[in-house]
Structure 1
């Protein structure tokens, strides 16, 4: 039986730095990150999960207790620790790359990949689950439009830019692998 192209594993090619995925909520950073890490034979980590472990509470509670600035400070420290641990694939929260210090650290020590998607794709994806603090009690389309306008100039500073659509995430992973080669 012939193997399918999306089942192929590649070595990490001697990557000496982490690959950090940035982009809007709902773009697929975590799912794409897991697939990409498997292809590159690297560890995958989701910075939001690591923040929750470090804080001992869910992100929604961190936002409630410390506000967005307190969350962003903890996020920066956790991402710094993850980067210092050595090469891996890191999926970041949608606002991580907006923070000047976090962005500077990622740009200096990692390969950054902006995963971009059309607004309709994002709205569809984020509407499936109700766990995002910035969307609670708000219209997802309006919030995503406003966030995109603010964040896109920062995302454009990433080393690599790929588009995700409503198709399989493996297609986006392949785009990233081609750009890394």
Structure 2
């Protein structure tokens, strides 16, 4: 069977695996794959894909690095919480990708728990570094030693990510569609979130 046929068989077999009853919120470190996996998951579920960072940029008419540089992180975090609250309370459930720092806020975690389900894309430090080291789009990594900064962020954030409702291994080897399969397998244990078809 050719690759195209395999892909179409897979799409047909997997579409859509159920009806969302809550918004799925992707959380985790920068470089974990929240946007790529979240976008593919939304497509598989046939629901809207939302990105809190993109929504903040639209609302502020500036990029995230510009907001950090001009207003500072505290201003950004306040905007981030407001945007996440708005996106979680939309009438149509979807898949929401959040920035790496969003889940650190107890307020955000409480909102996400109330209106959605959090899925931690759990990637180790080497996987994350390999994905982010060639990009200059991460304000928090604009330091003299970005790898050490990433390691410090990782160590401080992992205990908070561990509070997520579900954890899915992002090992840097799996294709995006395979990652979607892993997330769906985790969601299958939550009928309050994903109602099976039929």
* TM-score (normalised: structure 2): 0.86
1:69 to 60, 69, 74: 74
Contact 1:119 1:141 in 2 (8 A): no
Structure 1 position 137, deviation (Å)? 3.3
Pair 1:7-2:11 in alignment: yes
Runs (5+) with no aligned partner, structure 1: none
Per-residue CA deviations over 1:127-179 (Å, capped at 9, x if unaligned) read 12111100113423211211111111111111110111222122221110011
Question: Equivalent residue for 2:105?
Answer: 99
The secondary structure found in structure 2 opposite 1:14 is strand
Question: Equivalent residue for 1:120?
Answer: 126
Q: Across the two proteins, how many residue pairs are aligned to each other?
A: 181
Larger Rg: 2
Runs (5+) with no aligned partner, structure 2: 189-198
Structure 1 position 16, deviation (Å)? 1.7
Correspondence list, 1:14-29, <5 A: 14-29=19-34
Question: Equivalent residue for 1:176?
Answer: 183
Q: CA RMSD in A?
A: 1.5
Contact 1:10 1:40 in 2 (8 A): yes
The secondary structure found in structure 1 opposite 2:77 is helix
Per-residue CA deviations over 1:88-115 (Å, capped at 9, x if unaligned) read 1011000000011111100111011000
Question: Equivalent residue for 1:156?
Answer: 162
* TM-score (normalised: structure 1): 0.94
Contact 1:126 1:140 in 2 (8 A): no
Cα distance between partner residues in 1 of 2:78 and 2:24? 21
Structure 1 position 15, deviation (Å)? 1.4
Correspondence list, 1:12-51, <5 A: 13-51=18-56
Question: Equivalent residue for 2:86?
Answer: 81
Cα distance between partner residues in 2 of 1:138 and 1:151? 21
Structure 1 position 17, deviation (Å)? 1.0
